[in-house]
Amino acid sequence: MNSLKTATIVLACVLLAGLIISLVSADALSRKLIDLQLDYMFAMDELRILSSERDTLVDIHSFYRLRADSLDLLKYRLDSLQALMQVFELNENYVGYYLLIDTYQNRFHIRRNIGDGDDILVRSGYCATGKGWTNNDQGQVWDFSTPRGLRYVIEKSENPYWYRPDWYWEEMNIIPPEPDEYIVIPDTISWEEQISFYHDSLTAAERVYVKRVPGALGSYKIDLGGGILIHYGVGRGRNVSHGCIRMGSSDLEALYSLLPVGAPVIIY
């Protein structure tokens, strides 16, 4: 009888100890759960703050981007207005063909003032103008913008050469050649033969060492002074040139035939 009573007491103690341990574990888990909930709530609050800050930065960025776009548009309108005023001034004392170059839309317009206030559009199309600021791998920087304002045709020529400028090799990250390393295409052969010699008789690596390049500017060149030329080139409709104005072959031929030396060119 006593042994049964003792076993019952031991069993009760074991159950009580197990219950106590369970309660302690449950309390610890409950506290841990509360701590996790607090951490979660804190993290959510942090996420809300970060999300709000991100939205604010996005709004600020959008605001300044719109301001930048607005400034570009305003500058374009001011340049266009100035060009229009220059056209009005030209019409008062100039009769003949003149050229408008829109560097924003990369379009050209050949117009003719026939007098008595009559001004007509003769031809219009796409061109390429300066690409602005650019740099090479060494951090050298150049401004290849097409200068705006009123200029005049100072010279025209056929079958022009392109003289590779000194900055060409630096922009292309190529070591400039020594003077005795230049390749000179003989001018005792015809213009067409010089172009064929350049493209067919020289490798791509050798062509880099030709400083006086035939055919690169097309068949015609119109000089506006200050190193700014109107010539043949690719990339029309974009700002890709080193400051010159690039035309298609037929448009260049039309400009060459219509614009005399002294003709006004308004760039805006």
Q: How far is CA 123 from the centre of its chain?
A: 28
* Spatial distance between the Cα atoms of 103 and 260, rounded to a whole number of angstroms: 22
pTM above 0.95, yes or no: no
> Looking at residue 37, what is its pLDDT?
66
Going by pLDDT thresholds of 50, 70 and 90, the confidence category of residue 159 is very high
The CATH H-level (homologous superfamily) assignment of domain 95-267 is L,D-transpeptidase catalytic domain-like (2.40.440.10)
Q: What 8-state DSSP symbol labels residue 219?
A: S
Residues 6+ apart with CB under 8 A from 124: 107, 108, 109, 110
Rounded to the nearest 10°, the torsion over CA 164, 146, 101, 80 is: 180
Residue scoring higher pLDDT (6 or 251): 251
* Spatial distance between the Cα atoms of 190 and 76, rounded to a whole number of angstroms: 45
Q: Express each pLDDT in 134-146 by its tens digit.
A: 998 888 999 999 9
- Tokens representing 69 are 């776009």
Listed residue (251, 245, 222, 259) closest to 112, CA to CA: 259
Per-residue pLDDT at 198 exceeds 80? yes
Q: Express each pLDDT in 11-48 by its tens digit.
A: 666 666 666 776 666 667 667 767 666 666 666 777 67
* Spatial distance between the Cα atoms of 177 and 43, rounded to a whole number of angstroms: 63
> Looking at residue 204, what is its pLDDT?
93
Residue-range domain boundaries for the chain: 1-93, 95-267
Handedness of CA 108, 100, 109, 71 (dihedral sign): positive
